[in-house]
Amino acid sequence: MITNIRPWGGPPCDVVLDEQSVVEIAAGGSAPTSDATIVDGAGRVAVPSFSDVHTHLDSNRLGLPFRPCTGAPDLMSRIMDDRANWRSAEASVADRATYALQRAITFGATRVRSHAQVDADSGLAKLEGVLAARETHRDRAAVEVVAFPQVGLHREAGVVALTAEALRLGADLVGGIDPCSIDRDPVRHLDTVFDLAERFGCGVDIHLHEPGALGLFSLSLITERTRVLGLAGSVTVSHAFCLAEASTEAFRAIDELAELDIALTTIAPGGHGSLPVRRIVDAGVRIGLGMDGQRDYWSPYGNGDMLDRTWQLAFTQGYTFEPDLDSALAVATWGGHTVLDRAASRLVHGERPGLRVGDPAELVLIDAESAAAAVLDRPTDRIVVHHGRVVAENGELR
């Protein structure tokens, strides 16, 4: 029983949880439930726990000495720069992934989807490191792992077999990346991705950096396969920068994503990659937020704190008014949950989901005046609840 919390900054109440869900919500000061462990919420704002649905635990350098980015700006140069440097990191993949996941949990993320790179250079080493991190924190967070062919599936020999082996070893989804610009054979690339998904009965999560008409073409091939193979609800497209353009074609593509229940994830980039989140939510498309790479060879940004990334989402979307700021927080918390669980109720812009009887027992309690103030101030005083028990408090694991 968590006493004296304010769901989304509303009136104080007491909440009873079991291991799975919210069991009861009562007026503040109600009598303790028999045999319940009592946690004092101390008037904190309560929201659903964060869902980091696009991260790369295998490549982060959180907690290690700063290294400046050395790769050229284009995608393939960044990929090769990471390949040239990952073995010389001051810690193993497993240790770095475990530390990054720990930080995410202490900041309030109890639902995570991490990509784990599989390629001819690293083999399954990065996957094994992410699986080790998941195992270490299995009682503190639910973690999905994507077998991610960062360098494509067909540029190098043996990658398809490695990806299949990754799925046998415990990866939950098969990944893909830029079917036209990386493998330069979109039909072959996507046929392989969806064949693996059918063989292993798993979901799909495809990085789509390709902009404009090229990206919309690749997206049309993804939606075509989703429709023909009956995989509605099982496919996620990450980044989808091609939807950032306010064009008739992009808006039509958003409607098709809604029709086929294809989810989106964004990392709240600025400039050309900023998605029309309000339009996506209003169309009924599931969308969540992620940290992406953090202090790695791709980017010096990222700190493990999804509330910090929520601020970034609100800023890049131009949100000013309180309902919009609340909606940014909803995308970062419940929105990501809908990406991971397609049965969850969809976001509605301006609504405050995730704290009703029957909702998951996944909460973060933040010392803030309101939900909007939490987004703007990003206070670090937090209590994190996973499966109905406190797993972190004020930056420390429990």
Each residue's pLDDT tens digit, 295-323: 988 888 999 999 999 999 999 999 999 99
Q: Render pLDDT for 16-27 as a digit per residue (tens, 0 to 9).
A: 999 999 999 998
Q: What is the mean pLDDT of residues 235-251?
A: 95
User: Going by C-beta distance under 8 Å and a sequence separation of 6 or more, which residues neighbour residue 382?
Assistant: 44, 106, 107, 108, 364, 365, 366, 367, 392, 393, 394, 395
Q: Render pLDDT for 80-89 as a digit per residue (tens, 0 to 9).
A: 888 888 999 9
Q: Render pLDDT for 354-376 as a digit per residue (tens, 0 to 9).
A: 999 999 999 999 999 999 999 99
> What's the pLDDT at 80?
87
How do beta strands 389-393 and 203-208 pair?
unpaired
Half-sphere exposure of 329 (CA within 13 A, CB side): 33
φ, ψ of residue 40 to 5 degrees: the values are -85, 115
Neighbours of 248 (CB within 10 A): 8
- 3 class by beta-carbon count within 10 Å (0-12 exposed, 13-18 middle, 19+ buried): buried
pTM value? 0.97
pLDDT at 36 > cutoff 90: no
Question: What whole-number percentage of the chain has pLDDT above 70?
Answer: 100
Residues 391, 395, 397, 398, Cα dihedral to 10° = -60
The span from the CA of 49 to the CA of 281, in Å, is 19
pLDDT at 341 > cutoff 90: yes
Identify the CA nearest to 176 among candidates 198, 138, 202, 146: 146
The span from the CA of 161 to the CA of 80, in Å, is 21
- 217 class by beta-carbon count within 10 Å (0-12 exposed, 13-18 middle, 19+ buried): middle
Q: Any bridge partners for residue 168, and if so which?
A: none
- Average pLDDT of the chain to the nearest whole number: 96
The span from the CA of 43 to the CA of 2, in Å, is 10
Q: Any bridge partners for residue 366, and if so which?
A: 45, 382
Identify the CA nearest to 194 among candidates 180, 206, 208, 182: 206
Evaluate whether 299 touches 69 at the Cβ level (below 8 Å): yes
3-state class percentages of the chain: helix first, strand second, coil last, to nearest 5: 35, 20, 40
Please report which confidence band the pLDDT of residue 75 belongs to, taking 50, 70 and 90 as the band edges. Answer: confident
How do beta strands 2-7 and 13-17 pair?
antiparallel
